Structure 1
Amino acid sequence: MASSRIEPVFNSDGAAARSRPGGRTADITRRIHDAVLELIISGGEEKCTFQNVARRANIERSTLYRRYPTRWAMMSDAFAAAYTNDLSFEPTGSFRGDLICHLSRVAHTLSSPLGMAMLAAGAVARLDPASRPAAGGFWEFRKQQQEPFIRAAIERGELRPEVSLDELFAAADGPLYFRLLIIGQPIDQQWVETTVDQVCRAFSP
């Protein structure tokens, strides 16, 4: 039976486009995403060509050309879908609790084989101008994932009403990426809670 899961699809500017309905389109999207993620783990970003993805997903290359302006847009779409599933959590009722859940799930995802492959692809992408629109769309999507629990925290009075989503995203997620990608240190629960406490102090009313 075809999957009815709604997947984020990136447009030619790299931004998340309107979700597409289930059925055959969703099934093709799932196969593309699965092919990209399998290839990125087994061979790195250089293996994620339209030709290789089309072959593994058992679709025509023309399907990929119609959907994605570049292979980076294709990879960003697959990464966003993976993050949608991996980073979901039930709200805890507090900003501190929500942020601990969020960062713990990000750390778990990035420490996995897929996460490490995604980080490596991101390092290569910084050197390729063709990747920038897709990368911008991916990070905008990541910020949108945080927005609901941030808005809820503002309504509860836990955060300043004028808080910048960009600044909060950088303060919360930035250290995690720096620790994993730049200095290559693991993330444990104590580190997550210390980082969250720093963010809470910095952005509380």
Structure 2
Amino acid sequence: MNQASTLDDAVRQRRPGGRTADVTRRINEALIELLAEGGLEACTFQNVAARAGVERSTLYRRNPDRWPTIVDALIDLADRQTPAVDTGSFRADLTETLLNLVTVLNSPVGPSLMEVAGALQSGVAPGQSQRFWTNRQKQLAPMFEAAIERGELPADVNLDEVFAMAAGPMYFRRYVSSQPLNDEWVNKVVDQICDRYCLKP
């Protein structure tokens, strides 16, 4: 069985679409699988094309090099780990978001995400890191907008700051202190975020 198949079904769910959407899905899945198996070194256009069952010319028509294609796959992965339904509670929404993040960080692709982040910060692909975060903001915005509308968060809450303080401890615990990520840790982080940012009833 492929290592990447250990990703939670909710993260690797397939979505319907036409031929172009199907090709895009296969490319994105191929990249995530290759990242999980061999890191950035494995993510050549040749390997992606072979895994996705497409011609290399298809990849080159979309992007001049592999970096926009890698970021496309990571944006898609992040989109699928973001709750699509408003649970009615910021605490519950944030908890679900972080639990899905934990699923990815604990999966075989997790360490490769840090490798990608380091490469992007080194300037290997100018603008791609910002493109990822801009899309991530759009993915997370509905969670914050709903919380503001419900009166759970102040209208001027800083999305970047809140999510950095929520997700940051996940990366630190997993990749710096090498401690396990679990539900208990997520709940502690959510409690801290809510104590700091949520409005009192």
User: Could you say which TM-score interval applies, normalised by the shorter chain?
Assistant: 0.7 to 0.9
1:5 aligned partner, one-letter code: R
Query: TM-score, structure 2 length as denominator?
Result: 0.83
- How far residue 89 of structure 1 moved from its aligned partner, in angstroms, is 5.2
1:112 matched to 2:122? The reply is no
Instruction: Tell me which residue corresponds to 2:50.
Output: 55
- How far residue 37 of structure 1 moved from its aligned partner, in angstroms, is 1.6
Instruction: Tell me which residue corresponds to 1:163.
Output: 157
**Residues 110, 119 of structure 1: 8 Å contact kept:** no
- Counterpart CA distance in 1 for 2:127 and 2:177 is 27
2:191 aligned partner, one-letter code: D
1:150 matched to 2:144? The reply is yes
Gaps of 5+ in 2: 1-13
| Residue pairs, 1:116-135, within 5 angstroms | 116-127=111-122, 129-135=123-129
- Counterpart CA distance in 1 for 2:24 and 2:46 is 16
- Counterpart CA distance in 1 for 2:163 and 2:115 is 21
| Residue pairs, 1:16-165, within 5 angstroms | 22-88=17-83, 90-127=85-122, 129-165=123-159
- How far residue 95 of structure 1 moved from its aligned partner, in angstroms, is 0.9
2:101 aligned partner, one-letter code: V
- Counterpart CA distance in 2 for 1:190 and 1:55 is 41
- How far residue 91 of structure 1 moved from its aligned partner, in angstroms, is 2.8
Q: Are residues 182 and 126 of structure 1, via their aligned partners in 2, closer, same or farther at CA, if it must alter by over 3 Å?
A: farther
- Counterpart CA distance in 2 for 1:47 and 1:193 is 35
2:75 aligned partner, one-letter code: A
- How far residue 5 of structure 1 moved from its aligned partner, in angstroms, is 3.0
2:99 aligned partner, one-letter code: S
1:183 aligned partner, one-letter code: S
Q: Are residues 58 and 108 of structure 1, via their aligned partners in 2, closer, same or farther at CA, if it must alter by over 3 Å?
A: closer
- Counterpart CA distance in 1 for 2:59 and 2:69 is 8
**Residues 34, 43 of structure 2: 8 Å contact kept:** yes
- Counterpart CA distance in 2 for 1:177 and 1:139 is 16
Q: Are residues 143 and 180 of structure 1, via their aligned partners in 2, closer, same or farther at CA, if it must alter by over 3 Å?
A: farther
Q: Are residues 89 and 111 of structure 1, via their aligned partners in 2, closer, same or farther at CA, if it must alter by over 3 Å?
A: farther
- Return the match for 1:175 from 147, 157, 169: 169
**Residues 37, 109 of structure 2: 8 Å contact kept:** no
- Counterpart CA distance in 2 for 1:145 and 1:87 is 7
Q: State, as a whole percentage, how many aligned pairs show the same letter.
A: 45
- How far residue 70 of structure 1 moved from its aligned partner, in angstroms, is 2.9
1:29 aligned partner, one-letter code: T
1:193 matched to 2:157? The reply is no
SS of the aligned residue for 2:178 comes to coil
- Counterpart CA distance in 2 for 1:175 and 1:132 is 26
Instruction: Tell me which residue corresponds to 2:4.
Output: none
* Pairs aligned (count): 186
1:5 matched to 2:15? The reply is yes
